[in-house]
Amino acid sequence: MCSEGWLRHTQCFQQVIHPDGELTLLENNGQDLTGAVTIEPIAEY
């Protein structure tokens, strides 16, 4: 679900994320994933 190639490199560089940080990439870019998939944080009660 995470981006690959040049887009992943650009996102990691701009967001200061290690390229292996899949979970952080999903958290930061969950609204802009390929296909009809969206990842949003769970609201805390």
User: Could you tell me the residue range of the domain that residue 34 belongs to?
Assistant: 1-44
Q: Are 32 and 40 in contact (CB under 8 A)?
A: no
CA 39 to chain centre: 9
pTM assigned to the model = 0.72
Q: What pLDDT, on the 0 to 100 scale, is given for residue 42?
A: 83
What's the number of domains the chain is made of?
1
Interatomic CA distance for residues 7 and 3, integer angstroms: 6
Give the pLDDT confidence score for residue 41 in this predicted structure.
80
User: What's 34's DSSP letter?
Assistant: S
Separation of CA 21 from chain center: 9
3-38 pLDDT per residue, tens? 889 999 999 999 999 999 998 998 888 888 777 788
